[in-house]
Amino acid sequence: MAVRSRGIKKDYADEMNLDGVATQKEMDDAFTEHIDDYHTADGLLPAPEEDNMILKSYENDDEELAWKTVVADDPDEGLTVIALPYYWDEDRQKYLDNQTVRVTVYMSGNADDEWLYCIPGIRSDSVPYKMLDSDKMCITEVQFFVSEETSGDVVEVRNITGYVSSGWGRKTALYDTLYTVSLDDTTDTYVDSSVDIDLEGDISLGGYAIDGSDLEDPVCIVIMRKVWEKEDDS
User: Domains (ranges, CATH) in the chain?
Assistant: 23-82 (no CATH), 87-228 (2.60.120)
- Cα separation, 218 vs 66, in Å, equals 63
Nearest to 43 by CA among 52, 60, 25, 55: 55
Q: How is 122-142 classified by DSSP, letter by letter? A: EETTTS-EEPPTT-EEEEEEE
Are 220 and 118 a contacting pair, CB within 8 Å? Answer: no
Q: For the segment 42-87, what is each residue's pLDDT rounded down to a tens digit?
A: 456 777 777 777 777 778 787 777 777 877 777 777 766 567 789 8
Amino acid 62 reads D
pTM above 0.75, yes or no: no
pLDDT for the residue numbered 167: 82
Q: Evaluate if residue 195 carries a pLDDT over 60.
A: yes
- Cα separation, 68 vs 87, in Å, equals 32
Q: Which residues, including other chains, have CB under 8 Å from residue 161's CB and lie 6 or more apart?
A: 174, 175, 176, 204
- Cα separation, 213 vs 206, in Å, equals 17
Span 170-186, average pLDDT:
95
Q: What is the dihedral of CA 184, 187, 189, 191, to 10 degrees?
A: -10
Q: For the segment 2-30, what is each residue's pLDDT rounded down to a tens digit?
A: 555 455 555 545 555 555 566 778 777 77
